Structure formats: C-alpha cells, structure tokens
Amino acid sequence: MVADPNSPYIKLMRNRIDITQTPFSARGSRLLLYRYHEQDALYLKFAERLMEIAPELEAHRHRPPFLQDLVLTNERGEPLSFNVVSYPHALFLETSIGIFKVVIHEHNSLVIGLPPAIEAGVRLTVSSLYASLKTLQVRTNSELIKQERSPVEDGYLLECTIMGGEDVALTLACERLGVNHGQTEAFSEVLAQAEHRWHKWFSQAPSMDGPYRDQYYYAWWVLANNLVAPLGHLKHEGLMP
C-alpha cells in the first residue's frame, strides 16, 4: 500500500494526475512521461524543439518518444502489470512483487526505486531518431545483473535486471552526447528531495481554503509542470505550455 507523503499540499494531489492524458514531469525538466492507454507500459518524450531533427514549431508534439514500451520486469525478465498512484513528486507503480517508484531528478533523469530485496528491472526501446543528439545512460547504486542491447527497427531494445537490496535505485539518464552526471543516490534521498521541492513550491503560493482548494493547488502544479530550465538560447526559466 502506498503511504501518503508528509506534505499536506502534495497529499491533496493524490491521483489528480492521469498520466495517460497529462505527462508526469517536474519544474525545469523537459522530460514528459506518459502511460500508454490501457497498457502496462510507459513512454517518454522531450519537450524540446531539437532543431537538428525537426526545426518546425511544436515538432516535439509529433515526434516519436525517445523511450518506448517501457515495462517493469521481474527477476526472470517477465513484464509486470501495474496500478498507478500519482503525486506531483513521484509515481508509485503497484505490482505483484511490490511497489516501483518513479521520480524525475536533475531535470534529465528518470530514477526508479525498486521493491526491497527483490531482483527486478525494466525493458524498453530507445529510438534511433535522437542518436545524433541524445544518449541513454543506465546507472544504479546496486549491481546490474543484466544489461543487454539488441537492435530493433528504428532503435534498440534494452533489458536491465538489478540485484535486489535496500533503497535500490535505477537511473535512466537522458543526456546530450558527451554529458555524464556520475553516480546514483539511494532512492529514498532522491524521493525526499523531490517531495521537498514540490512542498516548497506549493507553500510559496498564497494560502487557499474552501471547496476549490484542491483545484487551486492543481493549477499551481500545472504552472510548475510547464516551467523549463535555461538551455541553449533560453537564458532564463520559461513557461512552455
């Protein structure tokens, strides 16, 4: 069972975010994580123009995902069905072997917390469309038992299995070529940082009570979710609807 976060603001947002319709993201990040409709799989897109690929305005809305068909797997590499519990700071994916947790960290990384003391992992396809600009780096604070790549049409299939342990994190870092951000922290630290960031954001808004309180803080979440950090020609934090 997923425990409520400590933040009273974040508690209000339990399951307000339907990731089949609205992307899971974070303030400053250009990562957009969705769930395929009626499937136990996720996909990840970039909220970036990436003019080297397609210079048209809003081209990012129509490009194929960078990460496709991302499924959670057990120790045998078999896909797991899941139920999503969503909050602004994290997704909790309930499966038959435990709860996987997902956080966006440092703008460019998906960090997945694995159930304790269980070997598990992920399987996904990486699109070759972005090969000249982006790379996927896989890191963990545990041990990679398996990391296999095999070519598929328009990309490659990646299968990873992680040694079971306590506070295990698997990082999928979506970096520009030549960038490497190093080690993966324990998942509890990443989760706590994400909750702190969102609590701070909501607490700085004018307080609100009454029947529209939930919707009021949801609107503040929408605003933060659409803010991107400076990058390239963008010199200041900006709003990207």
For residues 228 and 195, give the distance between their C-alpha atoms in angstroms, rounded to a whole number: 18
For residues 223 and 239, give the distance between their C-alpha atoms in angstroms, rounded to a whole number: 8
Would you say residue 237 lies in a domain? Answer: no
Q: What is the pLDDT along the chain (241 residues), one digit of tens a residue?
A: 788 899 999 999 999 999 999 999 999 898 999 999 999 999 999 887 776 776 666 666 678 899 999 999 999 999 999 999 999 999 999 999 999 999 999 889 999 999 999 999 999 999 999 888 889 999 999 999 999 999 999 999 999 999 999 999 999 999 876 666 667 899 999 999 999 999 999 999 999 999 999 999 999 999 999 887 766 656 667 666 6
Would you say residue 1 lies in a domain? Answer: no
Would you say residue 133 lies in a domain? Answer: yes
Would you say residue 52 lies in a domain? Answer: yes
Q: What is the pLDDT of residue 41?
A: 98
Would you say residue 233 lies in a domain? Answer: no
CATH number at residue 94: 2.70.98
For residues 198 and 223, give the distance between their C-alpha atoms in angstroms, rounded to a whole number: 12
What is the total count of domains within the chain? 1
Helical (H) or strand (E) element with 99: strand 98-105
Would you say residue 78 lies in a domain? Answer: yes
For residues 142 and 113, give the distance between their C-alpha atoms in angstroms, rounded to a whole number: 11
**Domain span including residue 154:** 8-228
Would you say residue 164 lies in a domain? Answer: yes
User: Which residues lie below 8 Å from residue 61, measured CB to CB, with a gap of 6+?
Assistant: none
Question: First CA to last CA across the chain, in angstroms?
Answer: 34
Would you say residue 24 lies in a domain? Answer: yes
